[in-house]
């Protein structure tokens, strides 16, 4: 029986063939082989590789978009000082290969999910991520964290005071609720766009995001998140940022494609050897 194509097919196809199992195989081959650079290994890959139930055709081409993220693997025999601290589930530091695999895996999964989320979001015709809370929702505002370099995309009022810079939106909701329209805030943790109740992001049009190709990083990544590692600021050591190992894929239940494709997202996480976690965020 043939099934009708749907606008979600490209995203679903990517969910069915996660890159992480292939990346893990590359790890193994690189560590046990005579390779100095990844290109040498890629050149020796066969046209087809089977990992568990997944068949990867032209694996070198599939891996190529992640080559820059895999480069750290080339330093494994002569490691540089760590740029971050990784902690296991009991809070103990991990290092060496285990830490390298978790770090590279997190970066690769994040990039892959950015593509998958974009492919699944577009056909939904939904703008939940781009508006403040509706009447009846328990929250008074939603927060969109921004990089300092992204601020110039938003010609909006700014709150950047001694008070805002020593607190966060969650710790000081009264300050975050001071805004009645979309506003940029400078918090202790950095900048964010606060969308108060019934407000909208200034870039949202009736059709879509006006700056879609250049939209902020955080707008590219909802609502299936890579959580092999989670940032843990409380454990930062001097200038080294800390991350806790979670080994999960987090999907936010408010999103229509997460609800619709729950089984496919769970299967994706399991193929990656990660636990799928579904969580409600808004409402």
In contact, 169 and 176? CB cutoff 8 Å: yes
DSSP state of 273: T
Q: Which of 129, 269 has the CB closer to ligand SF4?
A: 129
By beta-carbon proximity to ligand SF4, the closer residue of 194 and 229 is 194
Residues 142-181, one symbol each (x = binds ligand SF4 by CB under 6 A, - = not), give --x-------------------------------------
Residue 55 has φ and ψ, to the nearest 5°, of: -105, 125
Tokens standing for 76?
């494994």
Instruction: Give CA 211 to chain center in angstroms.
Output: 20
Only one of the segments 60-68, 98-106, 239-247, 249-257 lies at the binding site for ligand SF4 (rule: CB under 6 A); that segment is: 249-257
CA distance 228 to 232: 13
Contact (Cβ atoms closer than 8 angstroms) between residue 255 and residue 222: yes
- Closer to ligand SF4 by CB, 58 or 149: give it: 149
Task: Give the residue with the Cβ less far from ligand SF4, 114 or 236.
Answer: 114
Asked if 145 contacts 191 with a C-beta cutoff of 8 angstroms, the reply is yes
Is residue 223 a contact point for ligand SF4 (CB under 6 A)? yes
Q: Name which position in 256, 264, 273, 278 contacts ligand SF4 (CB under 6 A).
A: 256
Are 122 and 14 a contacting pair, CB within 8 Å?
Answer: no
Name the minimum Å distance from CB 215 to ligand SF4: 4
How far apart are CB 44 and ligand SF4 at their closest, in Å? 39
For ligand SF4, how many residues bind (rule: CB under 6 A)?
Answer: 21
Site for ligand SF4 in 89-148 (CB under 6 A): 121, 124, 126-130, 144
CA 67, CA 69: separation in Å to the nearest integer?
Answer: 5
Reference 104, options 218, 229, 231; nearest CA is 229
On the question of a cis peptide bond just before residue 223, with omega within 30 degrees of 0, the verdict is yes
Show contacts with ligand SF4 in window 35-94 (CB under 6 A): none
- Which of 38, 116, 184, 219 is the binder for ligand SF4 (CB under 6 A)? 219
Q: What is the dihedral of CA 54, 60, 66, 68, to 10 degrees?
A: 150
d(CA 64, CA 193): 34
Contacting residue, 255, 269, 272, 274, with ligand SF4 by CB under 6 A:
255
Site string for ligand SF4, 177-216 (x = CB under 6 A): ------------------------x-xx----x-x---xx
Give the binding site for ligand SF4 (CB under 6 A).
Answer: 121, 124, 126-130, 144, 201, 203-204, 209, 211, 215-216, 219, 222-223, 255-257
């Amino acid at each position: 029986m043939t099934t009708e194509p749907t606008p979600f097919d490209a995203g679903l196809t990517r969910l069915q063939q996660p890159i992480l199992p292939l990346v893990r195989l590359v790890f193994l081959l690189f560590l046990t082989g005579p390779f100095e650079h990844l290109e040498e290994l890629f050149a020796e890959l066969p046209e087809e590789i089977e990992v568990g139930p997944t068949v990867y055709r032209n694996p070198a081409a599939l891996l190529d978009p992640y080559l820059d993220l895999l480069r750290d693997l080339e330093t494994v025999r002569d490691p540089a000082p760590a740029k971050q601290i990784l902690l296991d589930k009991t809070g103990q530091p991990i290092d060496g290969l285990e830490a390298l695999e978790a770090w590279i895996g997190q970066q690769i999964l994040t990039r892959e999910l950015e593509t998958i989320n974009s492919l699944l979001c577009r056909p939904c015709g939904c703008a939940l991520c781009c508006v403040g809370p509706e009447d009846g929702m328990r929250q008074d505002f939603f927060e969109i964290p921004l990089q300092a370099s992204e601020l110039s995309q938003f010609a909006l009022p700014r709150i950047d005071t001694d008070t805002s810079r020593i607190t966060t939106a969650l710790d000081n909701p009264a300050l975050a609720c001071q805004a009645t329209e979309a506003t940029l805030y400078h918090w202790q943790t950095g900048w964010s766009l606060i969308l108060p109740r019934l407000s909208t992001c200034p870039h949202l049009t009736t059709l879509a995001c006006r700056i879609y190709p250049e939209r902020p990083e955080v707008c590219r990544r909802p609502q299936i998140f890579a959580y092999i590692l989670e940032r843990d600021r409380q454990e930062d050591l001097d200038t080294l940022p800390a991350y806790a190992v979670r080994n999960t894929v987090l999907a936010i239940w408010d999103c229509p494609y997460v609800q619709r494709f729950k089984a496919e997202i769970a299967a994706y996480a399991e193929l990656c050897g990660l636990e799928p976690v579904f969580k409600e965020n808004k409402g």
